[in-house]
Amino acid sequence: MQSTRLTKLLAFLTNEPQDPFILYALATEYNSLKDTDNAFHYYLKLVAEHPDYVGTYYHLGKLYQQVGQQERAVEIYQAGMKAARDKGDRHAFSELQGAYNSAAGLDYEDD
């Protein structure tokens, strides 16, 4: 049974199939429902069709980490950092850089 929120989002998508916020909301909702395939579908659609929608990269990277694809997560974080830099979004860049450093094993502390 689909959640009410998911049903509403799918209806919104029918009316505005290229709206990046709706695609992002769908990806996030599927992710919260543990429907990894559909979450990947919508996150990857966002990256392909709306590469400047910076919020996508963090969550897509985390999803790749969740399924054990660390190298792909690192690549996504790098692409996201570039998109954030191009857009001038310092906050998103900082979050993506932190995720990248952690995924790449660069988040060590000095003793």
Q: Is residue 111 part of a domain?
A: no
Domains in the chain, number: 1
Q: State the pLDDT confidence band at 106, using cuts at 50, 70 and 90.
A: confident
Q: Counting every residue, how long is the chain?
A: 111
57 close to 79: Cβ distance less than 8 angstroms:
yes
Residue 33: what pLDDT? 94
Q: Is the pLDDT of residue 2 over 90?
A: no
Residue 29: what pLDDT? 96
- From the CB of residue 91, how many other CB atoms can be counted at a distance below 10 Å? 9
Angle at 14 between CA 11 and CA 17, to 5 degrees: 125
Q: Is residue 57 part of a domain?
A: yes
Residue 53: what pLDDT? 96
Q: Is residue 76 part of a domain?
A: yes
Between 110 and 89, the more confident residue is 89
pLDDT tens readout for residues 27-82: 999 999 999 999 999 999 999 999 999 999 999 999 999 999 999 999 999 999 99
* Calpha distance 48→62 (Å, rounded): 18
52 close to 89: Cβ distance less than 8 angstroms:
no
Q: Is residue 109 part of a domain?
A: no
With b for 16 or more beta-carbon neighbours within 10 A and e for fewer, the 50-65 pattern comes to beebbbbbbbbbbbbb
Which are the contacts of 77, defined by CB distance < 8 A and separation ≥ 6? 57, 58, 61, 96, 97, 99, 100, 103, 104
Q: Is the pLDDT of residue 111 over 60?
A: no
Domain residues for 68? 4-103
